[in-house]
């Protein structure tokens, strides 16, 4: 049985889909005004793995992840760049997809944009007004009336007044209550806007997800996910809007991945420890980044640093070394390793334990290479199959060993020429020159590995 930690209940629960054999999952995506950072990568990779394993269990999954393409940040950035909001968002969406594919993710089944659901957003706001859950303030903006939704705060298990204490709440004279939040904003002259019964404007952030999720998956669906910073107020507000509008329970299981910290500090541009995915991939193989994200269970916080990535690279090399020059079986009968791997993943997608099972499999595989070659072939296939559920071991082992990090020094062709020169020197019994070449390469992070089949290399 699959167990999922439900943020709302604060405990693991046995997963029971609303409709047998089918799962609807909505994940809050990015506001596309800048390149993705490593915190975004954590969320994208976490829910990619969750979606892979849900499908592995035989469920028909409909995975929806939205794109927020209208927002104050987008408008401000577009003005700074002297470009249209559409031009900015299209560039950032393309960049996000490029980053995600490089990280080994499979794209969601659908990625709805907020601007594509403007009528649905307006319709939902009108329903909330008609039911008394929303009102138009003196400035023309439309607000949600939080005090009318009696169970407001149930996701975070806190009462309204408790959540307000210490929270950053915009206090405006137009609001009835400090916790009321905007559903529809009046726009300034020249800003992107849409016509509505309340004047030209654009939607608030929270209402976008309520409209998109319920239109894509229905008023009541199985799983809603996102980053750790979305629990309040975004997801709390989504619940209030959606359940008030539809009169139905919104989501059965709320899932939130852990945060990414940098050298044990919160990632922030002001602290100078803010890294985009592109920054990181300029130095490290994308699979190394993915391994770091997968090595901890999705709810755990991750500490990002060059050291942690180097450790991830070493661990991944151990897995790839087991597959290096290892023949594969066409098929295999799942062993205890598959059973234990699946048990770990069924326990709230515990990838940390699942990876430890892979390393036990590797020890058995390495031993079988000399003692039972046929067994080694089936174990190698089993290793590749299980790793694929985590999005790992998809590269050629030889290629990965040579490209675990991105080098600014010697190219592959340069290294190969040195290897050929060294081989000739040794053939000529000029061992001093051979050792000299090895040392020169080692000084530039290139480790040579000699075997009967010849010389291979890795970047250290």
Round to whole Å and give the CA distance between 299 and 367: 34
pLDDT value at position 156? 93
| Secondary element (H or E) of residue 185 | strand 181-186
Weakest-pLDDT range from 276-280, 346-350, 428-432: 428-432
Q: How many CB atoms lie within 10 A of CB 15?
A: 20
22 is in an annotated binding site: no
234 is in an annotated binding site: yes
| Secondary element (H or E) of residue 459 | strand 454-459
pLDDT value at position 168? 53
Backbone angles phi and psi of 190, in degrees to 5: 95, -15
Confidence check: pLDDT of 274 > 90 = no
pLDDT value at position 454? 81
Confidence check: pLDDT of 67 > 90 = yes
Confidence check: pLDDT of 169 > 60 = no
Q: How far is CA 304 from CA 45, 307, 437, in A?
A: 15, 8, 35
pLDDT value at position 165? 59
pLDDT value at position 173? 72
Round to whole Å and give the CA distance between 51 and 61: 7
**340: Cα within 13 Å, side-chain hemisphere:** 15
Confidence check: pLDDT of 453 > 70 = no
Tokens of 127: 């329903």
Question: What is 304-400's CATH number?
Answer: 1.20.120.640
Nearest partner of 308 among 104, 38, 36, judged by Cα: 38
Question: Radius of gyration of the chain from Cα atoms?
Answer: 26
Task: Between 412 and 328, name the one with better pLDDT.
Answer: 328
- 19-260 folds as Rossmann fold (3.40.50)
pLDDT value at position 421? 81
Residue-wise pLDDT for 369-393, tens only, equals: 999 999 999 999 999 999 999 999 9
Name the percent of the chain lying above pLDDT 70: 95
pLDDT value at position 124? 98
pLDDT value at position 109? 97
Confidence check: pLDDT of 456 > 90 = no
Round to whole Å and give the CA distance between 22 and 20: 6
Round to whole Å and give the CA distance between 242 and 211: 8
For the residues 126-131, what does the mean pLDDT come to? 98
Name the DSSP class of 407: -
Name the percent of the chain lying above pLDDT 90: 79
Q: Would you call 440 helix, strand, or coil by DSSP?
A: helix
206 is in an annotated binding site: no
Model confidence at 163, pLDDT cuts 50, 70, 90, reads low
Average pLDDT over the chain reads 92
Distant-in-sequence, close-in-space partners of 371: CB < 8 Å, separation ≥ 6: none
For the residues 120-127, what does the mean pLDDT come to? 98
3 state SS for 54-107: HHHCCCEEEEEECEECCCHHHHHHHHHHCCCHHHHHHHHHHHHHHHHHHCCCCC
Residue-wise pLDDT for 78-117, tens only, equals: 999 999 999 999 999 999 999 999 999 999 999 999 999 9
Confidence check: pLDDT of 171 > 90 = no
Domain spans, the chain: 19-260, 304-400, 412-459
């Amino acid at each position: 049985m699959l167990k999922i930690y439900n943020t709302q209940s604060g405990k693991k629960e046995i997963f029971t889909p609303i409709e047998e054999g089918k799962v609807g999952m909505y994940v809050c995506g990015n506001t596309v005004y800048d390149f993705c950072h490593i915190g975004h990568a954590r969320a994208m990779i976490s829910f990619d793995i969750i979606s892979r394993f849900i499908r592995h269990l035989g469920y028909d999954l409909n995975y929806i992840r939205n794109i927020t393409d209208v927002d104050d940040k987008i408008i401000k950035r577009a003005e700074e760049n002297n470009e249209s909001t559409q031009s900015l968002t299209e560039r950032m969406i393309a960049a996000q997809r490029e980053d995600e594919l490089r990280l080994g993710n499979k794209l969601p089944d659908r990625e709805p944009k907020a601007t594509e659901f403007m009528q649905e957003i307006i319709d939902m706001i009108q329903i909330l007004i008609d039911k008394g859950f929303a009102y138009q303030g003196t400035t023309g903006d439309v607000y949600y009336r939080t005090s009318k939704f009696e169970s407001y705060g149930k996701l975070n298990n806190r009462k309204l007044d408790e959540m307000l204490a210490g929270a950053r709440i915009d206090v405006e004279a137009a609001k009835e209550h400090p916790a009321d939040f905007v559903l529809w904003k009046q726009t300034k002259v020249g800003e992107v806007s849409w016509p509505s019964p309340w004047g030209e404007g654009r939607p608030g952030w929270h209402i976008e997800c309520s409209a998109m999720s319920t239109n894509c998956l229905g008023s009541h669906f199985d799983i809603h996910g996102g980053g750790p910073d979305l629990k309040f107020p975004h997801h709390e507000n989504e619940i209030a809007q959606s359940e008030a509008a539809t009169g139905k329970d919104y989501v059965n299981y709320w899932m939130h991945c852990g945060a990414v910290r940098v050298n044990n500090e919160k990632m922030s541009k002001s602290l100078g420890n803010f890294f985009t995915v592109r920054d990181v991939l300029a130095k490290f193989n994308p699979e190394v980044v993915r391994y770091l994200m997968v090595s901890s269970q999705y709810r755990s916080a991750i500490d990002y640093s060059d050291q942690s990535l180097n450790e991830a690279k070493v661990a991944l090399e151990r897995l790839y070394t087991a597959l290096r020059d290892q023949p594969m079986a066409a098929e295999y009968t799942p062993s205890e390793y598959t059973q234990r791997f699946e048990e770990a993943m069924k326990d709230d997608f515990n990838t940390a334990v699942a990876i430890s099972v892979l390393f036990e499999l590797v020890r058995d595989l390495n031993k079988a290479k000399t003692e039972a070659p046929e067994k080694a072939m089936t174990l190698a296939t089993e290793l590749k199959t299980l790793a694929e559920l985590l999005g790992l071991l998809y590269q050629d082992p030889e290629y990965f060993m040579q490209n675990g990090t991105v080098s600014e020094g010697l190219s592959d062709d340069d290294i190969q020429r040195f290897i050929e020169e060294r081989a000739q020197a040794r053939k000529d019994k000029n061992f001093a020159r051979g050792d000299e070449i090895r040392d020169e390469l080692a000084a530039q992070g290139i480790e040579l590995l000699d075997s009967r089949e010849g010389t291979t290399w890795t970047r250290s």
